[in-house]
């Protein structure tokens, strides 16, 4: 993908040479680039320019180039060397644009991951994306956005100079798709793109970049084996703004988990269980077969081995605690259901797929938040009503990949209540298992309004619990969401 165009005529830095002064700042102050312990920082200083530059080797990697400035009290250059004085908590936003910061980085010959300026593109030119296309006589040209250079430095380049095959393919794919969407058919012999088309292509390229960054971020945050892909071939929606990836429940203030006090002492929890192993301690059955597939019916609880058990992580009674094992993709649904999740691998029937994690809140708090979410048209509340309706999992802000799993009236995931380190029956963990074999590429869904037949005469455990959080028995009307699951027996509404 990298482009290496020799002899590019550029003098990007002419106007910026010398101490950098931002006219938008107070004229008695200057905005200076400084090397600090953490790397590189911009500082607003009430001292005359130019300042003696710190006697340090240029930092190899600029990590600290945040868009913030530290306010400093005036002091002598000697003091400055010894210990910079800071006004505690006094930080102002940097007024410089991203483009200027990139230029400054280049001027100082620094690399900065945040600004996409690296050793390679400091001296070399790499195409970040293509923005426009034209044909002059018989020669094709592309407008190039150079990686690490501001958009003002975009240039038209003849195709023969471009070696970014994948970017070229992607550009033409996006172009053709959009032309068909707008005009119903492809146009041959196009010599120029109209402005709205080229600006769409730039938006698409920027979106791809943002989604790639988000995908990378999610994979850094996950602590499970299954990887996460992100894909949007439907619209220009970018990464969700208010979503933080977590791997396990985030327990709110004032909510205490009751840690399990005992573990099992089986030699082999599967073939030589002592007193029914961990599930036996609460008169429950062992939940899994030797392949880790759940074999008890939905509605029955799963008690896995815990940290007090003598067995190791290879024990067949440790499944949910090992986390997500399948590679998955968060994708934009084509029929207005927002994002959804599809598996990239085959999942066998009754296998553990993922846990529903989020913030644990009280049901009163859930009712309050539920009304806000209703107005926003999406819900992420899962009521933990295994024994009584006290707590709710809210995955709206903190969540894992289950945040993106949609509803279906004929789902391929089934919910189970799981207890591992915590034995408070009011706080089960929520685990999804495959109801049937799921093929690679299939969307994963569960029933938001699931009803499970009572397991025995006195038990009514496990019934509807998603989205209606905090509303059990409440006379208040919920906003009805029309179901677009598209299955044969669709109930037409999510709730």
Whether residue 315 is annotated as binding a ligand: the answer is yes
CB 366 within 8 A of CB 378: no
How distant, in Å, are the alpha carbons of 5, 69, 127, 162, 163 from that of 167? 16, 36, 8, 10, 9
Whether residue 112 is annotated as binding a ligand: the answer is no
Total residues found in the chain within this entry: 495
Query: Considering only residues 378, 441, 459, 492, which one is a binding residue for ligand SAM as defined by CB under 6 A?
Result: 378
Site string for Zn ion, 211-250 (x = CB under 5 A): ----------------------------------------
The separation between the first and the last C-alpha atoms of the chain, rounded to the nearest angstrom, is: 48
Strands 39-45 and 30-36: antiparallel
Residue 112 or 324 having the CB closest to ligand SAM: 324
Q: Which residues pair with 130 in a beta bridge?
A: 144
Residue 204 or 337 having the CB closest to Zn ion: 337
Site string for Zn ion, 258-277 (x = CB under 5 A): ------x-x--x-------x
CA distance 442 to 349: 14
CB atoms within 10 A of CB 473: 5
- Nearest distance in Å: CB 474, ligand SAM: 18
Phi and psi at residue 345, in whole multiples of 5°? Answer: -130, 160
Q: Which residues pair with 354 in a beta bridge?
A: 432
Residue 306 or 402 having the CB closest to ligand SAM: 402
Stretch that binds ligand SAM, among 152-160, 278-286, 374-382, 422-430 (CB under 6 A): 374-382
CA distance 404 to 384: 19
For 98, the enclosing helix (H) or strand (E) is helix 98-107
CA distance 153 to 145: 7
- Nearest distance in Å: CB 485, ligand SAM: 4
- Nearest distance in Å: CB 371, ligand SAM: 14
Spatial CA neighbour of 148 closest among 207, 84, 104: 104
CA distance 323 to 354: 7
CB 433 within 8 A of CB 351: yes
Residue 317 or 449 having the CB closest to ligand SAM: 449
Residue 471 or 494 having the CB closest to ligand SAM: 494
309 touches which of Zn ion, ligand SAM, none (CB within 5 to 8 A by kind)?
A: Zn ion
**Chain residues 449-488 in contact with Zn ion, contact rule CB under 5 A:** 483, 485
CA distance 164 to 143: 13
305 touches which of Zn ion, ligand SAM, none (CB within 5 to 8 A by kind)?
A: Zn ion
CA distance 240 to 257: 31
CB 363 within 8 A of CB 469: yes
378 touches which of ligand SAM, Zn ion, none (CB within 5 to 8 A by kind)?
A: ligand SAM
Query: Considering only residues 147, 250, 407, 461, which one is a binding residue for ligand SAM as defined by CB under 6 A?
Result: 407
**Chain residues 311-350 in contact with ligand SAM, contact rule CB under 6 A:** 337-340
CB 256 within 8 A of CB 298: no
Residue 308 or 484 having the CB closest to ligand SAM: 484
Query: How many chain residues are in contact with ligand SAM, going by CB under 6 A?
Result: 16
Could you tell me the two tokens for 49?
């320019």
* 162 lines the binding site for ligand SAM (CB under 6 A): no
Query: Considering only residues 52, 189, 312, 377, which one is a binding residue for ligand SAM as defined by CB under 6 A?
Result: 377
**Chain residues 455-494 in contact with ligand SAM, contact rule CB under 6 A:** 481, 483-485, 494
* 278 lines the binding site for Zn ion (CB under 5 A): yes
Could you tell me the two tokens for 365?
């708090």
Spatial CA neighbour of 34 closest among 84, 93, 90, 98: 84
CA distance 43 to 22: 12
For 165, the enclosing helix (H) or strand (E) is helix 165-183
Whether residue 339 is annotated as binding a ligand: the answer is yes
CA distance 203 to 197: 10
148 touches which of ligand SAM, Zn ion, none (CB within 5 to 8 A by kind)?
A: none
Residue 287 or 305 having the CB closest to Zn ion: 305
**Chain residues 395-414 in contact with Zn ion, contact rule CB under 5 A:** 409
CA distance 252 to 174: 45
- Nearest distance in Å: CB 340, ligand SAM: 6
3-state secondary structure of 274: coil
Whether residue 10 is annotated as binding a ligand: the answer is no
197 touches which of ligand SAM, Zn ion, none (CB within 5 to 8 A by kind)?
A: none
Residue 80 or 385 having the CB closest to ligand SAM: 385
Query: Considering only residues 379, 392, 414, 417, which one is a binding residue for ligand SAM as defined by CB under 6 A?
Result: 379
430 touches which of Zn ion, ligand SAM, none (CB within 5 to 8 A by kind)?
A: none
Q: Which residue is nearest to ligand SAM (CB)?
A: 338
* List of residues contacting ligand SAM (CB under 6 A): 337-340, 377-380, 404, 406-407, 481, 483-485, 494
* List of residues contacting Zn ion (CB under 5 A): 264, 266, 269, 277-278, 305, 309, 311, 315, 317, 409, 483, 485, 490
């Amino acid at each position: 993908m990298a482009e290496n165009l020799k002899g590019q005529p550029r003098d990007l830095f002419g106007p910026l040479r010398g101490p950098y002064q931002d006219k938008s700042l107070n004229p008695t102050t200057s905005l200076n680039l400084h090397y600090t312990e953490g790397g590189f920082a911009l500082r607003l200083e009430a001292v005359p320019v130019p300042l003696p530059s710190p006697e340090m080797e240029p930092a190899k990697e600029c990590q600290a180039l945040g868009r913030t400035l530290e306010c400093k009290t005036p002091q002598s250059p000697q003091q400055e060397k010894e210990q910079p004085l800071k006004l505690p908590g006094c930080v102002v936003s940097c007024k410089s644009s991203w483009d200027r910061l990139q230029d400054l980085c280049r001027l100082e010959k620094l690399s900065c991951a945040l600004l996409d300026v690296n050793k390679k593109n400091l001296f070399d030119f790499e195409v970040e994306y293509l923005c426009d296309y034209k044909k002059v006589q018989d020669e094709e040209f592309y407008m190039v956005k150079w990686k690490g250079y501001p958009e003002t430095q975009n240039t038209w380049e003849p195709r023969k100079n471009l070696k970014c095959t994948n970017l070229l393919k992607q550009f033409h794919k996006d172009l053709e798709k959009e032309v068909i969407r707008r005009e119903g058919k492809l146009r041959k012999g196009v010599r120029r793109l109209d402005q709205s088309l080229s600006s769409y292509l730039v938006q698409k390229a920027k979106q791809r970049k943002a989604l790639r960054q988000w995908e990378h971020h999610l994979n850094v945050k996950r602590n499970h084996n299954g990887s996460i892909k992100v894909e949007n071939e439907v619209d220009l929606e970018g990464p969700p703004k208010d979503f933080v990836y977590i791997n396990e429940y985030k327990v709110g203030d004032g909510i205490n988990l009751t840690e399990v006090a005992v573990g099992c002492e089986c030699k082999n929890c599967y073939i030589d269980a002592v007193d029914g192993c961990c599930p036996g301690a609460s008169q429950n059955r062992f939940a899994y077969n030797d392949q880790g597939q759940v074999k008890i019916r939905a509605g029955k609880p799963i008690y896995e081995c815990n940290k007090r058990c003598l067995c190791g992580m290879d024990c067949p009674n440790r499944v949910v605690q090992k986390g997500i094992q399948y590679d998955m993709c968060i994708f934009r649904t084509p029929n207005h259901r927002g994002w959804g999740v599809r598996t990239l691998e085959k999942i066998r029937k009754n296998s553990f797929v993922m846990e529903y994690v989020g913030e644990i809140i009280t049901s009163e708090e859930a009712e309050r938040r539920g009304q806000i979410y209703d107005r926003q048209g999406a819900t992420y509340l899962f009521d933990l009503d295994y024994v009584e309706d006290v707590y709710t999992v809210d995955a709206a802000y903190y969540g894992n990949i289950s945040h993106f799993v949609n509803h279906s009236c004929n789902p391929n995931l089934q919910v189970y209540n799981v207890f591992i380190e915590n034995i408070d029956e009011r706080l089960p963990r929520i685990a999804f298992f495959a109801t049937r074999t799921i093929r690679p590429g299939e969307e994963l869904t569960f029933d938001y309004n699931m009803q499970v037949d009572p397991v025995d005469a006195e038990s009514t455990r496990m019934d509807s619990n998603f989205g209606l959080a905090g509303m059990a028995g409440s006379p208040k009307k919920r906003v009805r969401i029309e179901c677009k699951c598209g299955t044969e027996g669709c109930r037409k509404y999510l709730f």
